[in-house]
Structure 1
Amino acid sequence: MYKTLLSGLLILTLGACNSYKYGSDGAAEKSNLTIGVVKSKVVKGETTQDEILKLFGSPNLVSKNKSNREVWSYNKMSVEHKAGSTDFFAGQRASQSSSSKSFDLIITFDEKDVVADYSVVSTAY
């Protein structure tokens, strides 16, 4: 009985320590879309659309601006959930927490399909 109770407490405690990270499609993901990669690999007047595709894959949105230049938008979101734990001896449950991060990259190309400009917006809450 004591071993069973102790095993149950151990499983609940370890399970409460897990954190999960999900992408915008609901699956765990790993991406090149980071500020470090953008700053080190994307060069205005040099980086081509093909190079951007190899770095980041297909954009989330393709549009044209008022100057009729092509604009690509990338978005990466992640949510991390941390489960609370239960203190069986005190009869209290610790609160759960979560944090969200969003990363947006907007690239404007010139008439030769080369990066003319880009902007990055990163938020965490």
Structure 2
Amino acid sequence: MLKNTMCIVLLSFSFFGCSPSLYNTQADEKLSVAKAQKDIKKGMSSAEVVEVMGSPNVISTDAEGREVWVYDKISTQQAYQNSSGGLSIIIAGISGDSGSSVKNSRTLTIVVKFDSQNKVRDVSYRTSSF
């Protein structure tokens, strides 16, 4: 019974390993200040914005009922220096070595405001590092 269960578990891991990731790396690569500055122009339709930037994180309306789209991206990098002086980047997992680590986080928020005809009227962005 245990042998059959282990076979089923290993077989299911092999299927998950071959399946496409649930994380959309293409959308993540689309979101940048340079992309917003270069590709989003006043007068673009909402469909054109989605084509360039992907789906927004938040859709709301302003006081006049016009749509406002918000794109948020948060990235974190962590570097670990072990006691022997080597430097490594930790992507996932836990290490048992002693040493020190530095963690940097960055945020990017892009706000796209539309007019009453659902055409882009303004684009703004904010970045922060901590």
> Which amino acid letter does the alignment assign opposite residue 49 of structure 1?
S
Task: Figure out how many residues of one structure are paired with residues of the other and give that number.
Answer: 95
Match for residue 35 of structure 1 among 33, 36, 39: 33
After TM superposition, which residue ranges in structure 1, 4 or more long, deviate above 4 angstroms?
none
Share of identical aligned residues, percent? 23
1:76 aligns with 2:81: no
Contact 2:60–2:69 (Cα < 8 Å) also in 1: yes
Does residue 64 in structure 1 map to residue 61 in structure 2?
yes
List per-residue Cα deviations over 1:16-58 (Å, max 9, x = no partner): xxxxxxxxxxx694421111111111112x2211111111211
TM-score, structure 1 as length reference: 0.68
Looking at secondary structure, tell me which structure has more helix per residue. 2
Q: Distance in 2 between matches of 1:108 and 1:47?
A: 11
SS at structure 2 position matched to 1:31: helix
Q: Deviations over 1:92-114 (max 9, x none)?
A: x4420010000001111011111
* Whole-angstrom CA distance in 2 between matches of 1:28 and 1:87: 37
**2:53 and 2:112 mapped to 1: Cα distance?**
12
Give TM-score scaled by structure 2 length: 0.66
Gap runs ≥5 in structure 2: 1-22, 86-97
| Matched position secondary structure for 2:100 | coil
Superposition pairs of residues 1-125 of structure 1, within 5 angstroms: 29=25, 30-44=28-42, 46-87=43-84, 93-125=98-130
CA RMSD across the alignment: 2.1
Q: State the structure with bigger RCO (CA 8 A, min sep 6), 1 or 2.
A: 1
